[in-house]
Amino acid sequence: MEKKTTSALSSEQRVKELEQELAKAHADLSDANAALESFHDDEIKRSSVNISSCALRDALNAAELLRTNIMSWHTGDDLTEADRRRLLGSGVRRYGFLDKVSDIMTTNPQFTPSFLDEEGFKEQIRNLEEVRNISVILQQTLRANNDVLAILGDQAFRMALMYYGAVRDASLRRVQGASALFRILQQFFRHGRPQSEEPTEHEVERDVKALLHGHKDGKIVIENERPHMVGGKHVVVDETHKERAAFKETESGEI
């Protein structure tokens, strides 16, 4: 009787020790989650941008207005790539020559042809300078906008990954409804082969091994056409599925 009582006390003691260890593990997990959330908050603050919806709308309206104005300056047909290369080489890249001609024309007007409008030429150069300055500003604006775009995309992706991780963990803990959501989101991280593309020999061998070892489910069908002729044709139908519950049957039918 005394031995049985001692055994019962030992079991109760062990249960208490396990409960204490479990409580400590929960506390450590809570601290780890808090640290992870703090890390994510710091990352978001470090890479975030100072922007508001109102400022975005104003900038978009201004950009659209600028685009409309610039498009109204060119009333002819759209330039081809060949036209752009030719026209850029004839004027924009020879701005030094244009500027020097303008200076010499001012000091030596006797050489100006009667059919050349000197004031019109100088105004053309002034407009060229202004449009070139606009191009510089637009290029700087595009770089800055692309930086903002990259930061916003990264920030949104980090937030989405937080939710995805929570759904994945809930699915692993078999929380009701989480598995279906996880399967939907998991599709965005699968890089499968296009359905219309025939698998390579290496891919077929890999999938066959995965099927034999129970790592995938599905089927592989190989159909030969004219096998005895030179240049015979074969068709491979590879319908295997990754990361799905699969089982391997033995010859005795045991699982």
Integer Cα distance of 15 and 20 in angstroms: 9
Q: How much is the average pLDDT of 203-224?
A: 77
pLDDT exceeds 60 at position 1:
no
8-17, 135-144, 171-180: which range is least confident on average?
A: 8-17
185 burial type by CB count under 10 A (0-12 exposed, 13-18 middle, 19+ buried): middle
Range among 49-53, 167-171, 187-191 rated most confident: 167-171
pLDDT exceeds 50 at position 252:
no
- pLDDT over 90 percentage in the chain: 37
Average pLDDT over the chain, rounded to an integer: 78
Dihedral (CA of 208, 213, 216, 219) sign = positive
3 state SS of 217: strand
Give yes or no for a contact between 242 and 217, defined as CB atoms under 8 angstroms apart.
no
pLDDT of residue 32: 62
206 token code pair = 């890999």
The contacts of residue 168 (CB under 8 Å, 6+ apart) are: 182
pLDDT exceeds 90 at position 140:
yes
pLDDT exceeds 90 at position 210:
no
pLDDT tens for 7-34 read: 665 777 777 777 777 677 666 656 666 6
Integer Cα distance of 236 and 200 in angstroms: 9
The domain ranges of the chain are: 11-48, 80-189, 194-241
